[in-house]
Amino acid sequence: MTTQARNRFTPRWFVGAECVFGALVVVLHLLVPAFDVVAQPSPQLSALYESGARGNRVNIVLVAEGYRQEDKAKFDADVALIAREILAEPPYDEYAGFFNIYGLFVESAEAGSDFPKWGQYRDTYFESQYGCGGLGQFICLTVEGDLRLRRVLESEIPQYDLPVMLVNQDNPGGGAGVWSATASATSGGHDIVIHELGHLFARLVDEYGGGYQGREGTNTTSTTIREQIPWRQHIHPETPIPTPATPEYANVVGLFEGAAQSSLGWYRPEQFCKMRNQTGRAGFCLVCREAHVAAIYRTVSPIDAFLPAETRVTTATNDSIHFSVDLVQPTTHILDVEWFVDDVRISGTSGTNAVTIDADRFLPEQFEVRAVVRDSDPLAGANGIQREVKWTVVRSDFAMVPRGSSFDKSPLGQNYPNPVAADATTTIDFKLTTPRRVQLRVFDLAGRAVATLVDSDLGEGAHSVTWPATVAPGLYVYELHAGRVTERRKLVVAR
């Protein structure tokens, strides 16, 4: 497409651009004729870092803009460096296993980018330009370029989450829109990419001043009332509000003036942060790292796969059922796993990725098994972040299993109290119509006997046994064997 033709179809599509390097830009997709006279180049997708299947990962795609075929080696080197830098940046380093990073090479006829203000145009595939919204370092695409980006991504990697155009131009710049971002391939360009991902992925606001209009966000506020600060839970009661930007408060969460494009009247959580200092060694502040972790769990489930693969399981009595979860693990800590049967925690399974449950020990015809996975890292917030998988188990031959419904019809009574507190004592009653050899035992859900309460010959009549529940809290089954009669009931040991 010639420069002239492009200008004809370049509408002004920026409304209220907020900043030089990013922030949310409202893009009006004006309906313009999409005359795509440029032959579709053959894009080349390469995996820079792959931790798992694209369906359950955050897929970052670094897309070439303004790279000619002879610049392919430069593109490869540029994106390899950027991928390494992203994965070294906290909290990406901690959650590397939740990401895939790809390079997508698309050839442009000319190198560089447009500077309409200076009358400089380059014939590039996605029609990037500097100076959008009147901001010199803000790089955006034309509507046609935006459409082409969508088309290329849909055909090459439809599972894309975060597309970043890497613009082959030696002037620092970038920007973040609603669904994609731009960054210049300058030295230090990886810091711009990471900053723009802060907008695009974690929905963070710029923390630097600049004289534009501020706005409320996860990491910016205009309030100076301690109880109303979005990140108040991180501010020590003795830290003054607003907080002076002095060395004493260099690594402290407080309320520092200068944020959200405004030098005055707007505040940020820490003195230094990648949302304020795009280049250089500043990492994300605590509040911004937390926002990234929340964004990771909005996209990726820590449960990568589970068995049985069907969540409705039919089983026969005496079958052992194996349940397991495959987890996406952070690099710095281990996720907690807890297993539940009918909302009661199974004893001794915390932290294990698999359990075996013996259907014979259950009284109900149908029950539910749940694996709850929790990230309790401080960056996951005070309550942690949890996800779960739930199976419904139905016993196909339930009618054949003897069941104790009440003491009236059954020789075995319900224990009392039930639930019983761990280490407290509970009582079990049972009746015998004739003298019998009797066994009364308590089992955990894996079918292991944890206590034998009776194993002797007993006479006819009512009997009562007490049991000190010195076992881990959880669901148990007690079983009475008397002659040919077997009866079972559930018992809960509470925390």
CB-nearer residue toward Zn ion: 288 or 346:
288
Shortest distance in whole angstroms from residue 254 CB to Zn ion: 12
| Interface mask toward Zn ion for 143-182; x: CB under 5 A | ----------------------------------------
Task: Assess whether the previous peptide bond of 90 is cis (omega < 30° from 0).
Answer: no
Contact 32, 5 (CB under 8 A): no
- Indicate the residue among 199 and 436 with the shorter CB distance to Zn ion: 199
Cβ-based nearer residue to Zn ion, 273 or 337? 273
Mapped to the 3 state alphabet, what secondary structure does 205-226 carry? Answer: CCCCECCCCCCCCCCCECCCCH
Question: Which residue, 54 or 232, is less far from Zn ion as judged by CB?
Answer: 232
Q: Which listed residue (108, 113, 184, 219) binds Zn ion by CB under 5 A? A: 219
Judge contact between 196 and 284, C-beta under 8 A: no
Which residue intervals of 243-383 are DSSP H helices?
286-299
Instruction: Name the one range near Zn ion by CB under 5 A: 26-34, 210-218, 231-239, 282-290.
Output: 282-290
Q: Which of 20, 166, 176, 275 binds Zn ion (CB under 5 A)?
A: 275
The Cα–Cα gap between 420 and 428 comes to 12
Burial 104-117 (b: 16+ CB within 10 A, else e): bbbbbeebbbbbee
**Closest-CA residue to 201 (of 289, 305, 327):** 289
- Closer to Zn ion by Cβ: residue 256 or 478: 256
Minimum CB separation of residue 260 from Zn ion in Å reads: 11
Q: Which is nearer to Zn ion, 287 or 346 (CB)?
A: 287
Q: Does 300 bind Zn ion (CB under 5 A)?
A: no
* Amino acid letter for position 242: P
Contact call for residues 368 and 342 (beta carbons, < 8 A): yes
Q: Which of 203, 181, 205 is nearest to 192 (CA)?
A: 181
The reply to whether 202 sits near Zn ion by the rule CB under 5 A is no
Minimal distance, residue 267 CB to Zn ion, in Å: 11
CB of 166 to Zn ion, least distance (A): 24
When the beta carbons of 292 and 489 are compared against Zn ion, the nearer one is 292
Q: Smallest distance from the beta carbon of 367 to Zn ion, in angstroms?
A: 46
Site for Zn ion in 65-84 (CB under 5 A): none
Q: Rounded to the nearest whole angstrom, what is the least distance from the CB of residue 253 to Zn ion in the complex?
A: 10
DSSP alpha helix (H) spans, 332-440: none
Q: Is 273 in the site for Zn ion (CB under 5 A)?
A: yes
The least CB distance from residue 274 to Zn ion, in Å, is 7
Smallest distance from Zn ion to CB 276, Å? 7
Cα distances from 340 to residues 4, 92, 319, in angstroms, run 67, 32, 18
285 touches Zn ion (CB under 5 A)? yes
Q: Which of 288, 327, 369, 371 binds Zn ion (CB under 5 A)?
A: 288
Q: What is the SS3 assignment for 89?
A: coil
Dihedral sign from CA coordinates of 147, 153, 156, 159 = negative
Residues lying near Zn ion in the complex (CB under 5 A) are found at: 219, 273, 275, 285, 288
